[in-house]
Amino acid sequence: MKLKIILLSMAMITLSCQNNSPSMSNEKNTQHTNNPYYSRTDTTVLNVPDAEWKKVLPDSIYQVARNKATEMAFSGKYWKFEGLGIYYCAVCGNALFRSDSKFASSCGWPSFFQTIRKNSTIYKTDNTYGMSRTEVLCGRCNSHLGHIFDDGPPPTGKRYCMNSIVLDFVPDKQ
């Protein structure tokens, strides 16, 4: 059973790492044309069943956001990215992080020390794989984003370790 879970996890990781170029998308780009729930302005909490998310999301995003897969370390499009702007949830468009809260971390995933606003994310205890961690979920659509740890820089001491594939980046207007 454990081998089956590991093999399934590895398959989901492979699927989740297929897109490695930063997306500097507009409000609705081709990735979101089939997703009626995506909005960068609406903050209404969504209650959408997974079956509906499966229909409207690309499979690679669905696997991480809804099945809690994880990108392979050092492979995501934003782990070394340094653009100035805002990171949004790739599932629903919820604003999550400003680029000025991003920091270089050796963990292999994009890391932030604070969210853009208090209710941007929600948290859940995660005891999978024999570890005790805190899962970070989108505060609007309840999608898996990554985990939070207490080894980040000041002023918060937090490290939001996020999967690039569930993030959209929009650069600041010059």
Token readout for 62 is 């669905």
Token readout for 37 is 């729930």
Instruction: Let me know if 107 is a catalytic residue.
Output: no
Among residues 89, 92, 141, 161, which one is catalytic? 161
Single-letter amino acid, residue 144: H
- Positions annotated as catalytic residues are 161
